[in-house]
Amino acid sequence: MASIEFVQVTQSFDKNVIIPNLNLTIEDGKFTVLVGPSGCGKTTLLRMIAGLDKQTSGEIRIGGTDVTRVAPGQRGVAMVFQNYAIYPTMSVRENIEFGLKNNKVAKEERTRLVESISETVGLRPFLDRKPSTLSGGQRQRVALARAMVKKPAVFLMDEPLSNLDAKLRVQMRIELIELHRKLGSTFVYVTHDQVEAMSMADKIVLMNHGQIQQEAAPEVIYRQPSNLFAAQFIGVPPMNIGDLGADGVRFGFRPEGAELSTDAADAHYSVRGTIATREMLGSETIYQVRSGPHAFMIKCTEDRFSVDQDVYVSVSDSNLYFFGADEGRIDRG
């Protein structure tokens, strides 16, 4: 069992409270993604799990055991960083083998492990190469293999794909999902990129200012965001928000949850506006529609409107959200 529990955990640096009071259970064997804006405390959480920083107060349990006094190397966790942390002078084989040599694993066992793990991550043909002769994605796989060789029950990953170009990132996302399926270990993955979070997570933990905003499966956060922050952080472009003018209540709808037409439609909510910008992305077009004080982003599968054209924006009842003055979503049952 390698579930991770934070029980009333706080973390402060130089009297600055970064994590005010965290209660969180990360389930065993799941792919959990910690996501949130820069500086919200994601890396701080990972470092506390790894034992690289000690929490100010509270308890962290791995597999049910309080690890507060357990050294990083004894926690059964491995961490993969953004900048790989691989040795440039060593071959791929030597890099992967390094931790095993340190742990005095016998030569035959080392060879067997290096070969089976390099097979899993697709590095078998590159074992005798130096990291400098590999692509960014291949280097990231070396970093993963180095972590895997220790057979950790928990993988901690801190923005491991952020140094890769967009195409490679998409490929590595798929590889990480497959790797998680093969290994069945607990993955805790930190990113500020909500697309990464949506595409990989079994569960997303959405944070802001050291506090959990919502903790749920990606589709649940997308369909039932618990508050205005969650509604606007998950989804691209973000949810459109408008003021209802009364008691601080706001309404929202997703760019893909509205329709444009030249005639008024029979929808719950319909307003007139003018197309201000048009962005053709291939399979879809994103229009910005100005309507009174509002500027709504609308995603359409058809590209049939032009800038300055007058249109109606229509949203059906089931695609409308409402948020109270406290910014929580109003549950309409």
Contact residues: ligand ATP, CB under 6 A: 13-14, 18, 36, 38-44, 192
* Other CB atoms within 10 Å distance of the CB of residue 283: 7
Beta bridge partners of residue 275, listed in sequence order: 289
**Helices 166-183 and 136-148, interaxial angle, to 10°?**
20
Smallest distance from ligand ATP to CB 192, Å = 4
Strand order in the sheet with 4-13: 16-26, 4-13, 57-62, 65-66
Smallest distance from ligand ATP to CB 82, Å = 9
- CB nearer to ligand ATP: give 41 or 273: 41
- CB nearer to ligand ATP: give 13 or 322: 13
Q: Quick one: how far is CA 255 from the chain centroid? A: 21
One-letter amino acid of 122: G
Q: Quick one: how far is CA 43 from the chain centroid? A: 12
- Residue 73's SS3 state is helix
Smallest distance from ligand ATP to CB 223, Å = 25
Smallest distance from ligand ATP to CB 51, Å = 14
- CB nearer to ligand ATP: give 140 or 191: 191
- CB nearer to ligand ATP: give 18 or 295: 18
- Residue 258's SS3 state is coil
Smallest distance from ligand ATP to CB 169, Å = 16
Smallest distance from ligand ATP to CB 99, Å = 25
β strands within 231-333, DSSP E: 240-243, 250-253, 259-261, 269-280, 285-291, 294-300, 310-315, 321-323
- CB nearer to ligand ATP: give 120 or 211: 211
- CB nearer to ligand ATP: give 46 or 113: 46
